[in-house]
Structure 1
Amino acid sequence: MNKIFTKIPFIDNVLKGIGQIMLQENRWTGLLFLIGIFIGSWKGGVAILLATSAGTFTAMKLEYDKSEINAGLYGFSAALVGVALSFFFQTTLLIWILIVLGGALASIIQHFFISKKIPAFTFPFIVIIWICVFVLHHFTNIPPSEMISAKPEAVAYNEFITPINGFGEVIFQGGLLSGVIFFIAIFISSPAAALYGLAGSLLGAYFSYIDGESIEGIHMGLFGFNAVLSAIVFSGFKKKDGLWVLVAVLITVAIDDILIDHNILTEFGGVLTFPFVLGTCITLLIQRLFIPKKQN
């Protein structure tokens, strides 16, 4: 299998780009993510492949830094654009075109932030989807996808399933199997990231429950997926890592709950991963303010 990646590095870059959705530079993580998405929706699987390929190809043609391309840094926002568009809308010809163009644009926006050394995380994906959802809802008649229009299945609340669902919802997957696959995919790359992500999802669900959010939404993982990402960013094996994970999760969940409670951004497709981006950036700023730089 490694020979394939050596002969065709583009495949390796695409898979790493998918893995970087949850900050894992690992081709096997990306492959498992892809499998989990195909299990949920074959259209979502095709969309994420097209968008990630478009973003990676754009970065190569524009001659961005090769090490950054090889690390998958120009694939993850593009990947989320693809899966999000296939999740929100029925995949008409226009949507497929936007999936490819959106993936390419995400790569260009990502490069701007990387070149400026600004930690944007998934912000390029967020901006593109907000614009696409608003424009498509107001200026086209493209109907919502089957996943959006389908009635949610009635399932019993389960404290074990809830944090796993948080992993699935990071990539718009509501099925338990996809969530389990995503957790395993992260674990094989970084056990610390997987376990802290699980703790983050659980904390996100718990704090949202205390805040009075809907049990159905909490169970589905809608109040946990941003916390998963924030926890993964600060995960590690040092004692202080756990403290920063807690700080990041608390800030992220607070932002998430406020935005959802006040229906902010509903017209644009929802909060997406914006609470994660903002909460993580605030935590990084707090770190810079309270942790002195080491003297040379």
Structure 2
Amino acid sequence: MASAVAQGGTRLLVLLKGVAQVIFQANPWTGLVFLVALFAGGWQFGAFGLLGTVVATLTAHLLGVSWDERVSLGLEGFSGTLTGVGLVLYLEPRPMTVLLVIFGAIAGSVLSSALTVLLRPYGLAASTAPFCVITTVMVVGGSAFSRVWAVHASTPAPSAAAPGTGLSWTYLWQGTLSGVGQVFLQDQWYVGLIFLAGLVLAGWRLGVIALVSSLAGLLTGWLLGAQAADLGAGLYGYNSVLTGIALFGTFVVATPASAVYALIGVVAAAGFSAGIGNLFAVAGGHTLTWPFVLVTWVFLAAVPMFSRIRRV
């Protein structure tokens, strides 16, 4: 009996780590706070995000992915988390979406392993690329299937209802917090605040990096003339948050030189967001975390050329 309880507790910790690994953390308490934040954004985000985490983690375990090196650290769960949140956001909570999340999480697990193998010689991680690929394919292709597209969410940019480039104080502070929440596709500032609390639980420096990166992404968008409502919703901050944390302390040793390097990456991710968004909008897709993935891969691949910057 005690053994069964212990095993159940271990599985729960692995799932919570899977949620936390969306922002590179293997801390189960951080994962628990992230999960609370998802439910605060809406029951469907918490439920479908958890479903994706469970299926992706279970798939990797059943296929024999290393428990000690990957599964136990939550590294096989986070793309499933985002896939569940993304699909329920764009396709609404209904039985067909449940099936798509299950299939998407399974396919994402296989793709994650494939990318891990392909990228290993270059010292790169798959990151959220499996989520980006699976969600993009399903959402773009969804319109061809009546049972998938019969009920789908209308997700226009906030600026469609409130155009203008004047950045108010409200947009500034709400956008900075929402930039953290948008990592999980959540645009409410208070949900972003809960996610921020989860990061601080893993380390106060992470919270500072996330806030600075989100603000830098927002200001980059503002300087370039982005719509203020989109800035206020965090649409120019979340890829910068992931990029900043990845390039300063997670994959690159934290030094003054790497801080500057990370800041360049943060700005690049924000600027790249509009280009990726416009590209995928033509086919009915979304920006997701593509800017973070592509910018981080490029910046990490370039590190061996720079003597003042070192990989972790």
Query: Do these two structures clear the TM 0.5 threshold for a shared fold by scoring above it?
Result: yes
The residue identity in structure 2 corresponding to 1:66 is W
Q: CA RMSD in A?
A: 2.4
CA contact (8 A) 2:35 2:46 kept: yes
Q: Please point out which of 232, 242, 260 is paired with 1:229.
A: 242
Correspondent of 1:159 among 172, 176, 180: 172
User: Mean alpha-carbon deviation: is it higher for 247-256 or for 41-50?
Assistant: 247-256
> Is the 1:194–1:232 Cα contact (8 Å) retained in structure 2?
no
Q: Report percent identity of matched pairs.
A: 27
> Closer, same or farther in 2 for the Cα pair 1:77/1:161, shift >3 Å?
same
Q: Is the Cα contact below 8 Å between 1:247 and 1:283 reproduced in 2? A: no
1:104 matched to which residue of 2?
106
User: Please, what TM-score do these two structures have when normalized by structure 1?
Assistant: 0.90
1:66 is paired with a residue whose SS is coil
Deviates more, 1:136-145 or 1:272-281: 136-145
Query: Which stretches of structure 1, 4 residues or longer, exceed 6 Å deviation after superposition?
Result: 149-156
Change (3 A) 1:293 1:49: closer
**C-alpha distance after superposition, 1:197-227 (max 9, x if no partner):** 1111101100111111100000100011000
2:300 corresponds in structure 1 to 284
Amino acid at match of 2:39: F
Please give the alpha-carbon distance, in whole angstroms, between the structure 2 residues aligned to 1:10 and 1:107.
17
Distance 1:99 1:204 in 2: 30
Instruction: Report the Cα distance in structure 1 between the residues aligned to 2:79 and 2:16, rounded to whole angstroms.
Output: 13
Which AA in structure 1 matches 2:18? Answer: G
Change (3 A) 1:149 1:249: closer
Aligned-residue offset at 1:235: 2.4
What SS does the aligned partner of 1:164 have? Answer: helix
Q: Distance in 2 between the 1:205 and 1:293 partners? A: 26
Change in 2 beyond 3 A, CA 1:234/1:191: farther
Query: Given the superposition, is the C-alpha separation of residues 277 and 214 from structure 1 closer, same or farther in structure 2, using an over 3 Å criterion?
Result: same
Which of the residues 91, 94, 118 maps onto 2:93?
91
Q: Deviations along 1:47-105, whole A, 9 cap, x unmatched?
A: 01111000000011011011210111110111100000111112221111011111121
| 1:267-296 Cα distance to aligned partner (Å, 9 max, x none) | 2421110000011111112212223899xx
Task: Return the alpha-carbon distance in structure 2 between the equivalents of residues 240 and 7 of structure 1.
Answer: 44
Distance in 1 separating the partners of 2:218 and 2:16: 30
Is 1:213 the counterpart of 2:215 in the alignment?
no
Query: Of 152, 163, 166, which residue of structure 2 is paired with 1:144?
Result: 152
Q: Match of 1:52? A: 53
In the alignment, structure 1 residue 28 sits paired with structure 2 residue 29 = yes
| Map of 1:80 onto structure 2 | 82
Residues 5, 216 of structure 1: alpha-carbon distance in 2 compared, 3 angstrom cutoff: farther
The CA deviation at 1:114 is 2.0
- Once residues 268 and 224 of structure 2 are traced to their aligned partners in structure 1, the CA distance between those partners, rounded to angstroms, is 14
Q: Return the TM-score normalized by structure 2.
A: 0.86
In structure 2, the CA distance between the partners of 1:130 and 1:285, relative to structure 1 (3 Å rule), is same
Q: In 1, Cα distance between the equivalents of 2:7 and 2:208?
A: 31
**Structure 2: where are the runs of 5+ without partners?**
163-167
Q: Which ranges in structure 1 are unaligned for 5 or more consecutive residues?
A: none
Give the corresponding residue for 2:258: 241
CA change 1:184–1:136 in 2 (3 A) is same
